[in-house]
């Protein structure tokens, strides 16, 4: 009798276990090098992956086995809500609400997925490839309960292009510190002419030396908005990296004020103008040449 009771309890436990919903996220690949990713591809110029939690990761190197690494740009889809006072509130994506009708893939042609942000609005993300360029865009498909204006945006972060020697290690000898300081000075000498080049929406061009302290969000640098960001850095071995905004969209940049880009990198936001891009066709292109 006790044995039958145990079997009944075990059967009930197994039934309860099998009907429990799994944590909602995008489907993922089960083989290297893209294990755990929803989508990923390495073409002849660069590498891009989309994690099962919706993060987009781009590596300008074509020899990267996957998109991660110290050279990578990372982007997350969000919704920006504008309050009556004019303040912009960023609504982050909830990975547990992600969904797609497509299977996981290691060949990115066009993938689409949706998800809700904190606050209840729903966004749709589109990632496609054209001539070895990756095009990323999105739109708000359901504003949820909020009555405030909302828009789709991509918040991104560049790598720390040239991390300084010996960072975070306080136990080194004076001789080791002197050697690392010497190497860092030699590296800075090699980088003295490297620039972050910006094409503004008004057609003007701005060059910012990466060794000089900068305030990328300031009007003299970013102007009315940025149409294209160009990086020609030695770290990418002769290849230039471009972030390009299609018509009716733009970038804004920011960084730790008075910090040098080569050590700390920068943050960027790509957004489309919802009044001009009503059908969500605007794209951010990311590529190497």
Kindly report, residue by residue over 205-239, the tens digit of the pLDDT: 999 999 898 999 999 999 999 999 999 998 888 88
**Torsion sign across C-alpha atoms 21, 26, 27, 28:** negative
Beta strands in the chain (DSSP E): 37-42, 47-51, 56-59, 73-82, 88-92, 110-116, 122-130, 133-142, 150-157, 195-200, 205-209, 213-214, 226-231, 241-245, 249-254, 259-260, 267-272, 284-288
Mean pLDDT of the chain: 86
pLDDT-based confidence at 43, cuts 50/70/90?
confident
CB count in 10 Å sphere of residue 112: 13
CA atoms of 183 and 186, how far apart (whole Å): 5
pLDDT-based confidence at 3, cuts 50/70/90?
very low
Architecture of domain 37-162+174-288: Distorted Sandwich (2.70)
pLDDT-based confidence at 121, cuts 50/70/90?
very high
Most distant pair of Cα atoms in the chain: their distance: 85
Of 67-76, 82-91, 169-178, 196-205, minimum mean pLDDT range? 169-178
Q: Report the percentage of the chain scoring pLDDT > 70.
A: 86
- Cβ-contact 69, 42 below 8 angstroms: no
Choice between 71 and 141, residue whose per-residue pLDDT is larger: 141
pLDDT at 116: 97
CA atoms of 80 and 84, how far apart (whole Å): 13
Nearest CA among 272, 4, 242 for reference residue 140: 272
- Any idea how long the chain is? 289
pLDDT at 23: 47
Write down the domain spans for the chain: 37-162+174-288
pLDDT at 169: 54
Instruction: Provide the pairing of β-strand 195-200 with 226-231.
Output: antiparallel
pLDDT at 62: 61
């Amino acid at each position: 009798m006790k044995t039958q009771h145990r079997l009944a309890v075990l059967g009930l436990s197994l039934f309860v276990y099998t009907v429990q919903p799994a944590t909602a996220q995008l489907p993922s690949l089960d083989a290297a090098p893209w294990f755990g990713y929803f989508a990923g591809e390495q073409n002849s110029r660069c590498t891009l992956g989309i994690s099962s939690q919706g993060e987009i990761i781009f590596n300008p190197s074509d020899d990267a086995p996957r998109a991660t690494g110290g050279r990578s740009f990372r982007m997350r889809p969000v919704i920006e809500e504008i309050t009556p006072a004019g303040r912009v509130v960023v609504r982050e994506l909830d990975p547990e609400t992600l969904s797609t009708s497509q299977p996981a893939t290691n060949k990115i042609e066009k993938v689409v997925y949706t998800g809700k942000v904190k606050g209840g609005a729903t966004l749709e993300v589109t990632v496609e490839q054209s001539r070895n360029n990756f095009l990323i865009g999105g739109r708000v498909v359901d504003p949820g309960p909020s009555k405030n204006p909302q828009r789709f945006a991509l918040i991104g972060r560049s790598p720390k292009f040239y991390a300084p020697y010996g960072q975070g290690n306080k136990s080194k000898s004076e001789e080791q510190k002197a050697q690392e300081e010497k190497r860092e000075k030699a590296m800075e000498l090699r980088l003295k002419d490297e620039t972050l080049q910006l094409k503004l929406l008004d057609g003007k061009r701005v060059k910012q030396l990466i060794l000089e302290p900068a305030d990328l969000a300031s009007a003299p640098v970013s102007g009315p908005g940025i149409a294209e960001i160009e990086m020609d850095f030695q770290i990418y071995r002769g290849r230039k990296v471009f972030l390009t905004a299609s018509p009716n969209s733009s970038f804004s940049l920011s960084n730790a004020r008075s910090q040098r880009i080569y050590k700390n990198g920068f943050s960027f936001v790509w957004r489309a103008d919802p009044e001009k891009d009503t059908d969500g066709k605007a794209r951010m292109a990311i590529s190497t040449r």
